[in-house]
């Protein structure tokens, strides 16, 4: 066993030691749970630490001891000797050799640094103050958007040095915080990325204290997305200090009930997608408090009842986009929202017919987008009601066997239509779709993916229709895995 005295005698050869400590297992006799021995040496002079780090392994009493730079805040600069040497070289009176990198101007140094891997860029910035300034200039452009997976291979020491330089210039932060040393990584990001505006984090486990340290200095955040990060209501309480927050997305966090979200009064877009714990009473309070709410996503929130939808209709006077799942509750009242423009309905079972009649009554001259992810909702009455939405620009009704020729003929009355999605619908013919193309002159996108009944002849007929219409903008057709095996172009007739 190597004692602290022996360690002190050995390492003081390199310089004056300020502090030396060794962590040993609590019970050295328990071989099963014996922890590895770890020691810390703090030198008074950074050059002393640099001398030790030049050799990765040292031998004391014929036993090998590995040494590496500590990731603590007070770690001496292991590259300090190189820094001093580089700065001395710059001050030498004699002419440096022609190949010296210090002879290059900053533009050349920037080009060199850009072609280095991130680890080498960090090493480059450590060399001298001039190189550090060059790397900082690059960071202002290259690292405005920081993807966390790109820095996972860095040591904590390298990550800290990188964020000290690049962190203040990061505006968008996204990715997963690795579970390995996540607390320290979160602290580094929270300390240095002080000007970030958009944060998107997924599959990271957040606790209130960790979230608080992570967001401690990010006062400029306007958009925050925390996807499947095990959030609880106490975590949401931490967000109150983000006074500039406009967009909050917290999908797939089943531990949320909706409590405290009503305190985030400045939020204009809120996504609670997949948060099964959201309660109706909490959502009503959210709608009352967030008076500027324009976009709301409550898909797959199974706990919501009729009271929740009534609260939305009554209090969300500025809501323009609503995405929701339809369960057994009565939800047709949402058709009365005064500024509703975009509506997305998801249902595992039948949609209530009342929603279509209410939309025809209240949204005929306002609704611009209607997306229906549900099966077996199409019948004559519902189709006629949809056809009355004269301002509709986007209509999506994929995977529906009930969509037939008569349905598309009714939809052809939607003369403002710019996009239609009939993906996976196989019970209509090409004639009815061509009829819709002739009537809806503003169509720009048509999705017929997996429509096996549409063959090459449909392409030829479509080309003829487009020539007659003399459209100013092209028509984009998505035909993957449809019955169209090849495209045939007629080049003999050109308009």
Q: How high is the mean pLDDT of the chain?
A: 88
Report the share of the chain in percent with pLDDT over 90: 66
Question: Does one domain contain both 479 and 425?
Answer: yes
pTM here is 0.81
Position 258 in a domain:
no
> Tens digits of per-residue pLDDT, 145-191?
999 999 999 999 899 999 999 999 999 999 999 877 888 999 999 99
Mean pLDDT of the region 344-366: 93
H helices of 45-105, in order, are: 46-53, 80-91
pLDDT above 70 for 92:
no
Other beta carbons within 10 angstroms of residue 280's beta carbon come to 19
Element (H, E) at 24: none
Residue of 451 and 61 predicted with greater confidence: 451
Are residue 372 and residue 490 in the same domain, yes or no? yes
- CB hemisphere CA count around 302 (13 angstroms): 5
pLDDT digits 0-9 by tens, 463-490: 899 988 887 789 999 999 998 876 554 4
334 falls in which pLDDT band (50, 70, 90)? Answer: very high
**Which pLDDT score is estimated for 86?**
46
Read off the pLDDT band of 71 (50, 70, 90): low
Give pLDDT tens digits for 13-64: 999 999 988 877 666 666 555 555 788 888 888 888 888 888 888 988 888 8
124 and 62 in a common domain: no
What residues make up the domain containing 450? 367-494
- Total count of domains within the chain: 3
The answer to whether 214 touches 189, Cβ cutoff 8 Å, is yes
Q: What is the pLDDT of residue 484?
A: 87
Answer whether residue 91 is part of any domain: no
- Whether 88 shows a pLDDT value over 90: the answer reads no
- 49 and 165 together in one domain: no
Burial group, residue 390, by CB count within 10 angstroms (0-12, 13-18, 19+): middle
Q: For residues 53 and 143, state if they share a domain.
A: no
Q: Is 147 a member of any domain? A: yes
Helix (H, G, I), strand (E, B) or coil at 114: helix
Indicate if the pLDDT at residue 80 is higher than 60.
no
* pLDDT attached to residue 216: 84
pLDDT in tens, 253-262: 999 999 999 9
- Residue 216 in domain: no
Q: Is residue 79 part of a domain?
A: no
356 assigned to some structural domain: no
CA angle 294, 417, 442 (to 5 degrees): 120
| pLDDT at residue 73, rounded to an integer | 43
Last residue of some domain: 143, 165, 193?
193
The pLDDT value recorded for residue 45 is 86
64 with 110, same domain: the answer is no
- 3-class DSSP state for residue 420? strand
Q: How confident is the model at residue 430 (pLDDT cuts 50, 70, 90)?
A: very high
Residue 360 lies in a domain: no
For residue 375, pLDDT beyond 70: yes
For residue 197, the tally of other CB atoms under 10 A from its CB is 17
Please give the pLDDT value at position 32.
52
Same domain, 384 and 481: yes
Rounded Cα distance, 24 and 17, in Å: 20
Q: Is the pLDDT higher at 90 or at 390?
A: 390
Domain final residue pick, 193, 224, 249: 193
User: H-type helices in 70-117, by residue range?
Assistant: 80-91, 106-114
Domain boundary among 139, 165, 193: 193
Side-chain half-sphere exposure of 443, counting CA atoms within 13 A: 27
Q: Does the pLDDT of residue 298 top 90, yes or no? A: yes
Which CATH number covers residue 427? 3.80.10.10
Asked if residue 282 has pLDDT above 90, the reply is: yes
pLDDT at 365 over 60: yes
Residue 22's pLDDT is 85
Which of the residue ranges 79-83, 96-100, 231-235 would you say has the lowest mean pLDDT? 79-83
Do 123 and 52 share a structural domain? no
Same domain, residue pair 60 and 112: no
Binned at pLDDT 50, 70 and 90, residue 243 comes out as very high
* More confident call, 86 vs 314: 314
In this prediction, residues 281-291 reach a mean pLDDT of 96
| pLDDT recorded at residue 489 | 45
State the average pLDDT over residues 353-375.
95
Q: Note whether residue 213 is domain-resident.
A: no
CATH number assigned to the domain comprising residue 18:
3.30.70.330
> Can you tell me the distance from the alpha carbon of 160 to that of 19, in angstroms, rounded to the nearest whole number?
23
Could you tell me where the DSSP H helices lie in 78-181?
A: 80-91, 106-114, 118-127, 129-142, 156-166
Can you say how many angstroms the Cα of residue 143 is from the centroid of all Cα atoms in its chain? 16
> Are 386 and 436 found together in one domain?
yes
If 0-12 CB within 10 Å is exposed, 13-18 middle and 19+ buried, where does residue 49 land? Answer: buried
User: Are 193 and 220 a contacting pair, CB within 8 Å?
Assistant: no
Please count the CA atoms within 13 angstroms of the CA of 445 that sit on its side-chain side. Answer: 11
Q: What pLDDT, on the 0 to 100 scale, is given for residue 77? A: 47
101-159 tens-digit pLDDT: 888 999 999 999 999 999 999 999 998 999 999 999 999 999 999 999 999 999 998 99
Which are the contacts of 424, defined by CB distance < 8 A and separation ≥ 6?
A: 398, 399, 400, 449, 450, 451
């Amino acid at each position: 066993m190597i004692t602290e005295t022996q360690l002190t005698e050995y390492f003081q050869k390199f310089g004056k030691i300020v502090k030396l400590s060794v962590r040993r297992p609590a019970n050295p006799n328990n071989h099963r749970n014996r922890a590895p021995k770890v020691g810390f040496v703090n030198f008074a002079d950074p050059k002393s630490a640099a001398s030790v780090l030049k050799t990765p392994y040292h031998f004391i009493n014929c036993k090998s001891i590995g040494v590496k730079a500590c990731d603590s805040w007070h770690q001496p600069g292991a590259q300090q000797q190189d820094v001093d040497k580089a700065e001395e070289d710059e001050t030498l009176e004699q002419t440096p050799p022609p190949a010296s990198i210090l002879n290059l101007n900053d533009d050349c140094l920037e080009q060199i640094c850009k072609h280095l891997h991130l680890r080498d860029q960090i090493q480059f910035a450590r060399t001298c103050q001039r190189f550090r300034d060059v790397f900082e200039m690059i960071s202002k452009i290259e690292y405005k958007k920081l993807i966390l997976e790109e820095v996972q291979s860095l040591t904590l020491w390298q990550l800290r040095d990188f964020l000290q330089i690049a962190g203040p210039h990061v505006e968008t932060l996204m990715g997963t915080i690795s579970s390995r040393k996540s607390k320290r990584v979160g602290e580094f990001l929270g300390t240095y990325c002080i000007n970030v505006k958009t944060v998107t984090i997924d599959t990271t486990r957040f606790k209130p204290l960790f979230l608080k340290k992570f967001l401690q200095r990010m006062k400029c955040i306007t958009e925050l997305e925390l996807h499947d990060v095990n959030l609880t209501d106490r975590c949401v309480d931490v967000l109150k200090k983000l006074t500039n927050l406009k967009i909050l997305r917290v999908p797939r966090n089943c531990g949320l009930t909706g409590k405290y979200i009503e305190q985030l009064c400045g939020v204009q877009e809120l996504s609670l997608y997949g948060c099964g714990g959201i309660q109706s009473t909490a959502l009503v309070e959210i709608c009352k408090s967030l008076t500027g709410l324009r976009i709301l996503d409550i898909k797959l929130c199974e706990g919501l009842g009729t009271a929740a939808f009534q609260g939305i209709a009554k209090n969300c006077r500025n809501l323009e986009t609503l995405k929701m799942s339809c369960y057994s509750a009565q939800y047709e009242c949402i058709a009365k929202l005064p500024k509703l423009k975009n509506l997305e309905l998801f249902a595992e079972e039948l949609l209530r017919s009342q929603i279509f009649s209410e939309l025809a009554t209240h949204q005929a001259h306002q609704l611009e987008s209607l997306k229906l992810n549900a099966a077996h909702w199409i019948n004559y009455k519902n189709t006629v009601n949809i056809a009355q939405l004269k301002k509709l620009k986007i209509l999506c009704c994929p995977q529906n066997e009930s969509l037939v020729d008569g349905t598309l003929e009714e939809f052809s009355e939607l003369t403002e239509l710019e996009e239609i999605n009939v993906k996976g619908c196989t019970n209509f013919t090409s004639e009815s779709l061509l009829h819709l193309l002739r009537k809806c002159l503003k169509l720009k996108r048509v999705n017929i993916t997996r429509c096996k009944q549409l063959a090459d002849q449909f392409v030829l007929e479509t080309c003829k229709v487009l020539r007659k219409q003399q459209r100013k903008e092209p028509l984009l057709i998505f035909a993957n895995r449809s019955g169209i095996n090849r495209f045939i172009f007629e080049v003999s007739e050109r308009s």
